[in-house]
Structure 1
Amino acid sequence: MQELLKVIVAGLVEDPTAIQITEDAPNEEGVIVYHLHVAPEDTGRVIGKQGRIAKAIRVIMRSGAAKNNQKIAVEID
């Protein structure tokens, strides 16, 4: 799942080498949280107008996780 997130975000940013993804252990509800860090100038590109791109990224990641019987969340830091 981490690779899927990296591929999606790499297509959006100008500096793909600055992408950092950290993964938390599943919490008590079984949700794995992925923390996405990009270069400061690329943050707006990942979030999008009114958060539309961020929402789309989260939807794609949730649907991919559902195929693997996982629950995930993506936070953009």
Structure 2
Amino acid sequence: MKHKVKQITQDRLLLSTSEAARLLGYAEQTLRKWALYENGPISPIRHGRSLRWSKAEVYKFACVKEEV
């Protein structure tokens, strides 16, 4: 069964791990490892057991990644 992909709207400041991974072109597990080992280029915001990623930080990292 395929999951529906949610639209990333302009009004949201935080992204789920799957949304951030999709925007960055990484696997979700890569972002989870960044969170677990605290060694990634961007850090998540923990909300209970969930991870949320700052949209601004994700876009900033994506722009830097494209320049290299």
TM-score (norm 2): 0.27
Choose between structure 1 and 2: higher strand proportion.
Answer: 1
Choose between structure 1 and 2: higher helix proportion.
Answer: 1
